[in-house]
Structure 1
Amino acid sequence: MHRLLAILSAVLLGVMAGPLAGWGQAMHETALFAAAANGDVAAIRDLLARGTPVDPRDAEGRTPLLVATHANRVEAARALIEAGADVNAKDQIQDSPYLYAGARGHLEILELTLARGADLKSTNRFGGTALIPAAERGHVETVRRLIEAGVDVDHVNRLGWTALLEAILLSDGGARQQQIVDLLIAGGADVNLPDAEGVSPLAHARRMGFEAIAARLAAAGAR
């Protein structure tokens, strides 16, 4: 009788251990996401030391590193990357830590991702590289760094636009955009590569009244 009770107790404990372990792991993963969002490096290191996976996914497919990148939590991102977080892991809308850092001009995190194997050919949900939204949004130093890293300056996204075209079409033509056009030209961008409708960068710049950009393009041989 005592032996039977012992066996039943052992079986019951075994059945309960799985769900309890899974629940505990889920709690640790939730805590890791919170620590990443808040930039709590000590908590990140503690959770990882306890065996929490570095790249769990939330309901939107994001990893803790992508959550830290969204909040521009540089030291949290550094801790996660040093622990092996995947800088190219994409969420449900095709953002990765590398792509998001580039698009948002989070230069310090971008540098961390470049040092850890960022896929320069990876593309976002619009079929664009990190360089294209960086150019559109006027992130001058980010554009400079991505060109230096070797991102294709003439990549065409699904809208039919290059970084040069987006720097013109989706901007105010101001000083930052002028600097970006200079960087793209110096980086070897084809100044005559048209959009999907066959309209050139120079034609767009003139149509929009961006005389300073038009002058730069013309000096570089644009037609």
Structure 2
Amino acid sequence: MAEHLELLAEMPMVGRMSTQERLKHAQKRRAQQVKMWAQAEKEAHGKKGRREQPWKEVSGLGPRKQVLFPPSVALLEAAARNDLEEVRQFLSSGVSPNLANEDGLTALHQCCIDDFQEMAQQLLEAGADVNARDSEGWTPLHAAATCGHLHLVELLISRDADLLAVNTDGNMPYDLCEDEQTLDCLETAMANRGITQDSIEEARAVPELCMLNDLQSLLHAGANLSDPLDHGATLLHIAAANGFSEVAALLLEQGASLSAKDQDGWEPLHAAAYWGQVHLVELLVAHGADLNGKSLVDETPLDVCGDEEVRAKLLELKHKQDALLRAQGRQRSLLRRRTSSAGSRGKVVRRVSLTHRTNLYRKEHAQEAIVWQQSPLTSPEPLEDEDRQTDAELRLQPPELSPAESGAPEGLARDKAHHTLAELKRQRAAAKLHRPAPEGPETFEPGLPVDTETSQPDCGFRTPGDPPLLKLTAPSEEAPVEKRPCCLLM
């Protein structure tokens, strides 16, 4: 047959051919392909014959068997076919009836699943273990009770099968039985043996107690509790899968790793979720297990969970954990903002405070400047009498000051406060009488700041320098000055 490059080179030529020519060309290529295949088959058979000839000449025997099965597989296969004669030959040849496959399943297990009563009787008479356990702790009685095979259950009970055997899921044979007659048989047998609820609970706690004892021995020996065991699983994986709360709590107390992974990349939380151990799920998450941890195939604990109750619990815990993380993130961002602005926050407050105080001083002195600007001739008579009365009272009755308050600046401040009050009274009276404010060379609105550099009030006459009451500084900082009459108000 033509090579691939040759076929590619022919493509332009084939495209220019007519339909009949293309058919003839295809038939020619197919004939070449069949011829080359026949030749290759002939060469292959010739090489095979040359390899087998020396072996036949030396051994003088026919072809020998190339596939051999171990006795356990052969016995299980014969029991699954319910071949009593072949199983009898195996047993008589010395094959043990307790041989099991890689999952721990024995021939007696298989008979109890398939309801082969005669085969089970033959295996038991040959010495089969009636309480043999597979890799998940199932006994033949578990299998017979689950399938509802009443006669096999009666047979196993007559052979002293353990009625309190607990599998890895924590179930006894009667827990798995749904057939009414079979369940009644199991409960009757339990009552006849004197089994009570306390003994049932004790039997359920035996596996965890055994693991606790083993764990105490490891702690005394100083072993690392996070070392991987079979399939890379740690002790915490085993406790999580089996629902051993006390063992898991002890392991976590001793610092067992929550992020340890087995060969499949599963963490202990994966095992608890897969096996439906809701209490272990809560315990592991409470100690910080990662709900978003992924296995080698990117599966989270929620992905491998098949139990609806456990799935609902995982979703609830995930929502709570996400909300907590968001709240912590907001707190951290707020803390960072506070930390970044802490250096300038105090300065900003102090600048605002100083500015505010300066504005207050400006307003007060602006109002005082208005008092000095107004003339008594333009003021209404009632207001003039009131102001003169107030001034006369001040002259006749000077304020009594304590020694601490007898300083000149504070006395001046009180004097300014008096004139400010008088001005406010004058403004209220003018508003009531609907009279316009007195006009002067330059009018100031009360409450507005006065610029000392650009504006100065026009008082009937001036003294050298700025009047003391027009200086826009704090009163406490002014030096005591001698009062001079201004604008005929004093």
Which interval holds the TM-score relative to the shorter structure? 0.5 to 0.7
SS at match of 1:92: coil
Amino acid of the structure 2 residue aligned with 1:179:
C
Give the 3 Å change call, closer, same or farther, for CA 104–182 of structure 1 in structure 2.
farther
**Counterpart contact for 1:153–1:187, Cα < 8 Å:** no
Q: Map 1:9-158 onto structure 2 (within 5 A).
A: 24-26=64-66, 29=68, 56-57=69-70, 62-158=72-168
**Counterpart contact for 1:185–1:191, Cα < 8 Å:** no
- The structural deviation recorded for 1:131 is 0.8
- Residues 101-129 of structure 1 deviation map (CA, whole Å, 9 limit, x = unaligned): 23333211111111112123320232121
Amino acid of the structure 1 residue aligned with 2:133:
T
The 1-side partners of 2:95 and 2:121 are apart by 15
**Counterpart contact for 1:99–1:129, Cα < 8 Å:** yes
Give the 3 Å change call, closer, same or farther, for CA 183–104 of structure 1 in structure 2.
farther
For residue 186 of structure 1, what is the aligned residue in structure 2? Answer: 192
SS at match of 2:123: helix
The 1-side partners of 2:97 and 2:119 are apart by 10
Structure 2 unaligned residues grouped into runs of 5+: 1-53, 206-242, 244-490
**Counterpart contact for 1:87–1:118, Cα < 8 Å:** yes
Cα RMSD of the aligned pairs, angstroms, is: 3.3
SS at match of 2:82: coil
**Counterpart contact for 1:147–1:187, Cα < 8 Å:** no
SS at match of 1:159: coil
**Counterpart contact for 1:66–1:96, Cα < 8 Å:** yes
**Counterpart contact for 2:111–2:117, Cα < 8 Å:** yes
- The structural deviation recorded for 1:191 is 4.9
The 2-side partners of 1:106 and 1:72 are apart by 7
Amino acid of the structure 2 residue aligned with 1:139:
H
**Counterpart contact for 2:174–2:183, Cα < 8 Å:** no
Amino acid of the structure 1 residue aligned with 2:64:
G
Give the 3 Å change call, closer, same or farther, for CA 82–74 of structure 1 in structure 2.
same
- The structural deviation recorded for 1:85 is 2.3
The 1-side partners of 2:88 and 2:193 are apart by 29
| Larger relative contact order (Cα-Cα within 8 Å, sequence gap ≥ 6) | 1
- Residues 166-209 of structure 1 deviation map (CA, whole Å, 9 limit, x = unaligned): 12xxx2x4334333433444355545625688xxxxxxxxxxxx
SS at match of 1:127: coil
SS at match of 1:24: coil
- The structural deviation recorded for 1:66 is 0.6
The 2-side partners of 1:83 and 1:123 are apart by 25
Q: Percent identity?
A: 20
The 2-side partners of 1:24 and 1:103 are apart by 36
**Counterpart contact for 1:153–1:162, Cα < 8 Å:** yes
- Residues 121-151 of structure 1 deviation map (CA, whole Å, 9 limit, x = unaligned): 3202321211111111111111111112122
Amino acid of the structure 1 residue aligned with 2:134:
N
For residue 173 of structure 2, what is the aligned residue in structure 1? Answer: 163
The 1-side partners of 2:127 and 2:153 are apart by 18
Amino acid of the structure 2 residue aligned with 1:92:
E
SS at match of 2:64: helix
The 2-side partners of 1:186 and 1:26 are apart by 54
The 1-side partners of 2:86 and 2:73 are apart by 12
The 1-side partners of 2:112 and 2:119 are apart by 9
Greater Rg, structure 1 or structure 2?
Answer: 2
Give the 3 Å change call, closer, same or farther, for CA 117–109 of structure 1 in structure 2.
same
**Counterpart contact for 2:103–2:135, Cα < 8 Å:** yes
For residue 174 of structure 1, what is the aligned residue in structure 2? Answer: 180
The 2-side partners of 1:140 and 1:187 are apart by 19
The 2-side partners of 1:68 and 1:131 are apart by 21
Amino acid of the structure 1 residue aligned with 2:119:
I
Give the 3 Å change call, closer, same or farther, for CA 183–62 of structure 1 in structure 2.
same
The 1-side partners of 2:83 and 2:191 are apart by 32
The 2-side partners of 1:139 and 1:184 are apart by 18
TM-score by length of 2: 0.27
- Residues 85-114 of structure 1 deviation map (CA, whole Å, 9 limit, x = unaligned): 221111122211122223333211111111
The 2-side partners of 1:132 and 1:181 are apart by 14
For residue 251 of structure 2, what is the aligned residue in structure 1? Answer: none
